[in-house]
Structure 1
Amino acid sequence: MSHERYLFIAASIVLAAAYVLARPQPKEFVLSDVVNKTMCPIEVEINDNPDRIPRRIKYLRCAARPNKLCTEHHISHGCCRQHHHAFVTECVEIYDWVHVTFKGNDVPQVIKVPVGCTCLIEETTAAAEVS
């Protein structure tokens, strides 16, 4: 290859590296840091089955207790259980499907696993008057 071609390739690599380094990096969150800082708090459960592959699956369920941040800061909106005349908000679990295999059975199966909790807005309508 010619000297100019090597120079072009080197310049391209330097520009690509500069572009990648200049981009804002996405924040990474550790589950234990954010578990109680969301509008819909979660409880983490490790489902352990020695006869299953994978043996351990992390279940992220909606917590039974209300968000402590809502109570501490006297917030009464969103999924802090505030109801409005036109809509109701509530924390609901989000599910995904996980492929598993059980010992003694080579046929893969799919199980439904809770993977988080989010605030759901549900529209409501006023009931008609009864005569």
Structure 2
Amino acid sequence: VQLYRNTYQARQGGKIGITNNCDWHEPLTPDPLDVGAAMRENDHMLGWFAEPIYGDFGDYPESMRRLLGDRLPKFTAEQRALLKGSADFFGLNHYGSSWIANSDIPGDANTYAAYSFAGLPVAQSTWLHAV
């Protein structure tokens, strides 16, 4: 980003952005555990990439830092400053949504996807199971 901005952008007039592929996740129930699980899942799927650039601190989402601990690479202060606000636009490829419930089974987000809700019909292809 810095190289492009300092060397080419004025002459080329280009913009820098990222486009993420992310499905959206809604809580299966209004239970606070499911609400938290949906937020964690969105952090893991979208915030992982977007938060360092578009967030306030140039870092991964707090939920990821808390859950993943030392397994998540740490940004230096200089890297956080370079990341924060480094894109001119944000693109999103969105193809579907799913319900998410909290899970006590250990895992990175402690969630699981639920593709059926209250007897509503779902598509045969699991990636088409939508809210």
Name the TM tier (shorter chain).
under 0.3
Flag the structure with more relative contact order, 1 or 2, with Cα contacts below 8 A and sequence separation at least 6. 2
More strand by share: 1
TM-score of the superposition, structure 2-length normalised?
Answer: 0.24
More helix by share: 2
